[in-house]
Amino acid sequence: MNSRLSSAMVIALSGAMFAACNSDDSSYELIEDTTVSNVSITSFSLGSNDKIVANLDSLFFTIDLKNGRVFNADSLPAGTVLGNALVSIEHPTVSALELIFKDAEGNSKTVDYLKEGTDSVYFGNGTVTLRVVSASGNVMREYGVDVNVHKVKPDSLYWDTKSFSALPTSLTAPSAQRTVKYKDKYCTLAGKGTSFTLASSDDIASAGWTVKNVTLPADADVNSFTATDNSLFILAGATLYSSPDGETWTSTGVGMNHIYGAYLSSVVGVKKKDDGTYVHVSYPSSAEIAVPASCPVSGTSDVIIYESEWSVNPMLIFTGGRKADGNLTGATWAYDGSEWAQISAQNLPALEGLAIVPYQTMNINNQWVQTFTPVLLAMGGKAQDGTIDKTVYMSYDRGVHWTTAPLFMQPAANAKMLTGFQIMAESSWLGNEASRAVAPITRWECPFLYVFGGYNASGNLNAEIWRGALNAFRIKPIQ
C-alpha cells in the first residue's frame, strides 16, 4: 500500500494595509496612472537590524503601483518592536525622493533619499510616506510604506475561549453522542437512557440544525454510530444494524463487536468469535481475516481515507486502540480493501479514544515567507491508567512517523481535557459580506477545526461543540 502526498497549501498573509497619501503641493501633477513609469519604484527593502528581528534584510516587500502601497505580505512575528532601519530603493532617474515619517518621539521627519540615503527611517509610528518626483519635476507619486507585524502568533492553534455552541439535541444532559458526515450533511446522534435524538445540518457552523426524536435498536451503542456513502450503521449488542435515514433500523445479520469506520460503501470492523479470537469483518460481507495480535480490536481513532494516483485502491488508516490482550497501542494501521498492515515506524504513545484529523501547520523561512504544510493531527487519547493525554501530536507522512506538535499548537495549561470526541476540519467564512462586487476583501474562508462532544476522565459527556483554527487562517488575506 502506497500513501500519496496531499497537495500543499500556500497562503500569503498580511497585516494592515494602508492607502497612499495625497499632497497639496500644486507645483506637481499628482498621478494615479500607473503607466507613468518615471515615478514608479521597482524595488524596496530594509537593511539588517537584529534589534528589530533577524534577517530583516531578507524581508520581501510588495509594491502595489495601482494603489500606491509598499508592504510586506508575510508579516513579521507577533511581538516584533519596530524601530529605525536603513532602506534601499530602486527607482528611475528622479529629481526628488523623500521618506516622510514620525520618529520615536512623534516628531515629523523627512529623509532626502538622494542626498541622505544612509540615514535610517523610523517605522514604529505607522505609515511612512515615500514621495517620488519625476526628473522633469512635473509629476509626483506618493506611496504609503508599511512594515506589517502579526498581532497574534500566526502559527498557534487558537480555540474559542467559550464553547462555540451546545450539541444539537433536545435532550437535557445527554450522556452520549457521536457526530458523522453523511450525504453532505452533518449528523449528531445523542442519547440519554432509552431516549435518542438525531440532528442534521448541511452547514457545520449553522445554528439551524433539524432535530428529531428517533428509536434505536435495543442496546444500541451511540458511540458506534458510523456513516458510509449510502447508509448509516450502529452496533446493538454484537450485531450490525443499518439505516437509510437514522430513523428506521434493520439488522444486517452481520456480527461485529467494534467498528473501525467506513471504507467506500462498506463498513469495516472486528468480530469476536466463540473461541475468543478476533477476525476482521466488513459489510457487505467479505472473507473473515484473522486479526494480528498487534492490531487493536477496540478504542481506535476515527478513520481517515486517502486516495493516491500511485495506488489502485484508497487507503483507510486509524491510530491507537486496545489490543485483544487488553494492552493499548500507539501504532497506525491501514487497510486497502483487501490487506491490513501496520504502517507506523514511529508510534504514538499507547492510547485509546484518539481523534485524528488532516490539517495544516505553518512554516516560516529565513526570508519571513510563510507556507503551509499538510499534516495529520492526533489528540485526546486516554492512557492505560485512565488519564487523558494532554498532548497534540503531528505526522507529516500520514501516520508513518509521529512526533509531538510544536509548543504553540499545544492546549493551554487550564484547558478542559477530553477523549473520545470527533474532530472535523471544515472551512467557514470570516468577516462581513462586501457591499460591492469589486471591493476590499471583507470575507474569507478559514479552515476551522470543529470538536463534537468528548468525555472527561470520569466518563461524563461534554455536551458542546468547540471551534479552533491556526491563527494564520484567521488573519484577513492580502488583496
pLDDT bucket at 362, cuts 50 / 70 / 90: low
What pLDDT, on a 0 to 100 scale, did the predictor assign at position 426?
74
The CATH number linked to 67 is 2.60.40
Domain for residue 326, yes or no? no
- Residue 226 CB-density burial (10 A; 0-12 exposed, 13-18 middle, 19+ buried): buried
In the predicted model, is pLDDT for residue 427 greater than 80?
no
| Average confidence (pLDDT) over 209-217 | 97
What pLDDT, on a 0 to 100 scale, did the predictor assign at position 475?
41
What pLDDT, on a 0 to 100 scale, did the predictor assign at position 370?
64
Q: How far apart are CA 403 and CA 398, in angstroms?
A: 12
Q: Which grid coordinates belong to 5?
A: 502526498
User: Over the chain, what is the mean pLDDT?
Assistant: 84
Q: How far apart are CA 129 and CA 87, in angstroms?
A: 13
Residues 6 or more apart whose CB falls under 8 angstroms from that of 431 comprise 441, 442, 443, 444, 476
Q: What is the number of domains present in the chain? A: 1
Domain for residue 233, yes or no? no
Per-residue model confidence as pLDDT tens digits over 370-407: 677 889 999 999 999 999 999 999 999 999 999 999 87
In the predicted model, is pLDDT for residue 325 greater than 90?
yes
CA 325 to chain centre: 36
- Residue 78 CB-density burial (10 A; 0-12 exposed, 13-18 middle, 19+ buried): middle
262 neighbors 227 (Cβ within 8 angstroms): yes
In the predicted model, is pLDDT for residue 428 greater than 50?
no
For 62, the domain range is: 29-146
Peptide bond preceding 244: is omega within 30 degrees of 0, i.e. cis?
no
Rg of the chain over all Cα atoms, to the nearest angstrom: 29
pLDDT bucket at 98, cuts 50 / 70 / 90: very high
Helices (DSSP H) in 19-156: which residue ranges? none
Domain for residue 263, yes or no? no
Per-residue model confidence as pLDDT tens digits over 165-191: 899 999 999 999 999 999 999 999 999
In the predicted model, is pLDDT for residue 469 greater than 80?
no
Give the count of beta carbons closer than 10 Å to the beta carbon of residue 376.
23
Domain for residue 306, yes or no? no
What pLDDT, on a 0 to 100 scale, did the predictor assign at position 440?
43
| Average confidence (pLDDT) over 71-93 | 88
